[in-house]
Structure formats: C-alpha cells, structure tokens
Structure 1
Amino acid sequence: MAVTKQLARISVEYLADCRQSASESPDGDPHWDPQPADVLDLDWAPILLERACELAGLDDVHLNALRQATDGDSAIDLGFLNTHPHAIGPFGPAPTALSAAQAAHVSELLVHMNMPAILAALPADDTQTASLIGYGADKIAGDPRKYLLKHFNALREFYLEASQRHLLIVLWWD
C-alpha cells in the first residue's frame, strides 16, 4: 500500500473530544475516526501540483496558499494523534492542521486559481510534462494534466466546504 496525503475536515469540538479521549485512554487512543465524506485522499498530488504551479510561474501568494493547503501548519498541537499504537500518520511527519480561519483563507485563494490555465502552460506532450514535473509524474497512467486537475479540483472543493461549514483541516501522510 502506498503512503498518500490525507486530509480531514473536522470541528474544533471533535478535535477536543479526540484530545480528551487520548488523555483518558490507558493507551492514548484518541478514537480518531472522521466521517468518510470529510476525508480526502490526495495521493501523491501535492508535490506534483506545487511543481506544476512553479513551472507555470504562479504568483507567490497563490503558490503559498497551495503549499499551506497541502502541508498544513504546526500551530495546533496534534501530538496526541501521533502516538503509538494509534498514530494516524505513522509513515510520515507529524500530522498538521489549519484552523477554520486558515482553511477559509486558503479556500478563498484556491478558488481564484485558474488550474486549467496553469496546466495549459505545460508542454502538450505528456512525457515532456511528466519529465519537467518530476517527482514520479512519469508513473501517472495517462495525461498528467488530467490527474493534477482532478486532484486540484477535489482539494479546492474540500476546502470550500470546510470554509462554508467553519471546519478545521487535519493533514497527514498515511
């Protein structure tokens, strides 16, 4: 099984409940189980999206928003989600999060990104595009632009709904 980037939309209350469960449980179990509709698997798209945007010359404000959308922030303490044997991201760095306000800000910037135009700036040849992007883009079956557009659209919609529902985002590799 491949390790992929995961995101979950959750409420502050749900995070507090998980924190409390972890502190009260003898083995630190936070009872982390977000609703499937509020979880997004971005596969390996984050670094590929970032690289495609860099190649297309995306401005720093929007590029940083994309990075924040896929990297999170370490300001919210999620150490209780990263303890054995219940770690949600045992194969990567510690989980990160964005507050509801941060998620809303990122959502606003993602909505204004014209990903079809960004992807159109890449070479028309799939092999050449994959070679320029690097990071395993040559392993994508089919058109790498379609793969990136699909994952970007999913990310943008995920953040838009989080913003509308005033939810925070937790990110991890699993």
Structure 2
Amino acid sequence: MAVTQQLARIPAERLAFCHKSAGESPDGDPHWDPPTADVLDLDWAPALLESVCELGGLDDVHLNALRHSTEGDTAIDLGFLNTHPHAIGPFGPAPTALPAAQVARVSELLWQIDLPALLTALPTEETEAVSLIGGPALIVGGLRKYLLDHFDALREFYHDASQRRLLVVLRWD
C-alpha cells in the first residue's frame, strides 16, 4: 500500500481522551479511531497542489494556508500517537495537528483560492504538466480533475471542521 496524506477532524476532548488512554494503557494504545466520515485521504495531492499554486503565482498568505492545511503545526503534542506499536503514521513524518482556531482561518483562506485559475499556468499537454509539477507518470482521470477533486475535498473537509469547531490531525500512512 502506498503512503498517502491522511487527515482526521476530531473534537479536542477526543484528542485528550486518546492522550489519557495512551498514558494509562499498558501498551500505550491511544484508542485512536476517528469515524470514517471524519477522515480524508488526500493521496499524493498535497505536494502537487502546492506546486500548482506556486507556479500560478498564489500569494504567500494563501500559499501558507494551503501548506498549513496539509502540514499542520507542531504546537499540539501528538507524541503519544506516534509510539510503537500503535503509531498512527508510522511511514512518514510525525503526526501534526491544527487547533480549531487555525482550522477556521485555514478554511476561510482555502475558500478564497481559485484553483481553476491557477491551473491555467500549467502546460496544456498532460505529460508536460505532470512532469512540471513532479507528479506520477499516470494519474487516472487526468491531472486537472485529480487536483480539483482533491482540493475541493480539502476545502469541504476544513469547512466542516471549522463549522463544528474541530481540530485536524494530519499524518502520512
């Protein structure tokens, strides 16, 4: 199975429960199991979206919001989610998170990004466009559709998290 970007939106209380559970469990099990409806698999889209936004000339404020949406922040200690044998992201960097206030700001800024306009900076020839942004040789359905679908899913995910005042945990798995 390929390593892909995974996001989960959860209440702060649930994260506190997982932290406590990891500390009290003999084997450090945090009982991490967010509902499927609150998990998003971004596949390999984060780096490709960032490349397209850079090529399209997206301003720093919005580009940083996009980066935060896929990289998180280290302000929340998630070490307990990264311990063997129950690590939630054993194949990539340590899990990170965004607190609810940052989720709200990121959500607002993501909705201001016009990805279709930024995609016009890509060459029209698919293979050339994929090569330019460093994507895999074959993207089923086409590069632009792939990027739009994943970006729309990311925006919707953050919008819902913002509306529900949830934090977002990010990991590669």
- Residue 8 of structure 1 corresponds to 8
Cα displacement string for residues 29-51 of structure 1 (whole angstroms, at most 9, x for unaligned residues): 00000000000000000000000
Cα offset, 1:109, TM superposition = 0.2
Matched-pair contact (CA < 8 Å) for 1:4–1:173: yes
Cα displacement string for residues 149-172 of structure 1 (whole angstroms, at most 9, x for unaligned residues): 000000000000000000000000
Matched ranges for 1:44-83 at <5 A: 44-83=44-83
- Counterpart of 2:169, as a letter, is V
Matched ranges for 1:46-125 at <5 A: 46-125=46-125
Cα offset, 1:120, TM superposition = 2.1
1:85 is paired with a residue whose SS is: coil
Separation in 2 of the partners of 1:102 and 1:145?
Answer: 28
Among all aligned residue pairs of Structure 1 and Structure 2, give the percentage whose two residues are the same amino acid. 73
- Counterpart of 1:153, as a letter, is D
Cα displacement string for residues 64-115 of structure 1 (whole angstroms, at most 9, x for unaligned residues): 1000000000000000000000000000110000000000000000000011
Matched-pair contact (CA < 8 Å) for 1:137–1:144: no
Separation in 2 of the partners of 1:169 and 1:31?
Answer: 17
Q: Is residue 2:29 matched to residue 1:34? A: no
TM-score (norm. length: structure 2): 0.98
Count of aligned residue pairs for this structure pair? 173
- Counterpart of 2:36, as a letter, is P
2:6 is paired with a residue whose SS is: strand
Separation in 2 of the partners of 1:110 and 1:137?
Answer: 25
Cα offset, 1:123, TM superposition = 1.5
Matched-pair contact (CA < 8 Å) for 1:99–1:167: yes
Cα displacement string for residues 7-62 of structure 1 (whole angstroms, at most 9, x for unaligned residues): 00000000010001001000000000000000000000000000011111111111
- Counterpart of 1:149, as a letter, is L
Alpha-carbon RMSD? 0.8
- Residue 159 of structure 2 corresponds to 160
Matched-pair contact (CA < 8 Å) for 1:6–1:173: yes
Cα offset, 1:138, TM superposition = 2.3
Gap runs ≥5 in structure 1: none
Cα offset, 1:125, TM superposition = 1.2
Which one is further off, 138-147 or 38-47?
138-147
- Residue 127 of structure 1 corresponds to 127
Separation in 2 of the partners of 1:140 and 1:21?
Answer: 40
TM-score (norm. length: structure 1): 0.97
Cα offset, 1:137, TM superposition = 3.4
